[in-house]
Amino acid sequence: MWRPIGRRRPFCEASTLPLVSADVLEWGRRNLRPLPWRAVRDPWAILVSEVMAQQTGVDRVVPKWHELLDRWPDAAALAGADLGDILAVWTGLGYPRRARDLQATARQVVERHGGVVPDVLSDLLALSGVGPYTARAVLAFAFEQPVGVVDTNVARVLARSQGRRLASREAQATADALVPAGDGWLWNQTLMEVGAVFCRPTPRCDGCPVRGRCRWADDGWPEPDPAPGSAGVSRRQARFAGSDREARGRLMRALLAAPQSRRDALAATGVVGDEERAGRIVDGLIADRLVLADSDGAVRLP
């Protein structure tokens, strides 16, 4: 059983960890989706998958992951690519800043680590665009180190199983304590899968392998749900339709075909009747270094 967290007390009884994890691991062995990055241990390929999957569904990520790695199979190859070409492959994933940051990461891996993704947490955290989750995901899934991985799916499982919101350090310490010796890769993948399949924002508890050890469910799912506001749990995104994100995407797609004059770029955003807003969108992409402005005002991909 889970133990309440108190000051200077362990997050769970160490002696119960094999009992807590055995049936969950067995569920994972039988039910993990065959995602392609789960079949490899190449640190670069795994880092790319983690960056691509941030706020993007895996169904959209899979073909793009293959395409990017087929074209640039390692950090050195991506480091030397044109950002415009990378952005073209990235089209459809959203949040193109991630593509820019991934190339910056590749260049740092080449410059600081001889093109080899490091296996030390502090070195990973020093890379552009690599935060605590991505760094630990690389350690757990590429190097099979015994660290807990807390993405938004795992964070919901942890908070609900504890029956309360968890602060960042609590969530990470709990995740680390639960990793069973020798099975860290499978354990982390399984908790992520449980969060993605069962412990969703609107939970589906029937068949969940963690159901018998979930305090929130045992208590009858009282309000408030402990997951929202807990460390690592993403908040509902603003509506995409009509947003600046949608307008930025329209312009990026137009630039894939050809550079645009300033006037055409404003029109390509799809913002009608608000030239000031359209201008902010164009200028924002320039400021983010995702679009370049020529001396005559025309804009193009890098």
Q: How far apart are CA 178 and CA 126, in angstroms?
A: 26
275 is annotated as an active-site residue: no
- The answer to whether the CB of 178 falls within 8 A of the CB of 13 is no
Of all helices (H) and strands (E), which one includes residue 292? strand 292-293
Q: How many CB atoms lie within 10 A of CB 106?
A: 27
| Active-site hit among 13, 50, 67, 276 | 50
**CA 158 to CA 147: how far, in whole Å?**
15
Residue 234 CA, distance from chain mean position: 11
CA distance 177 to 195: 18
Token pair 């690389």 in the structure block, residue: 138
3-state secondary structure of 299: strand
Pure H helices in the chain: 17-31, 43-52, 58-71, 75-79, 83-90, 97-113, 121-125, 132-141, 152-162, 168-178, 184-197, 215-218, 244-257, 262-268, 275-287
Catalytic residues: 50
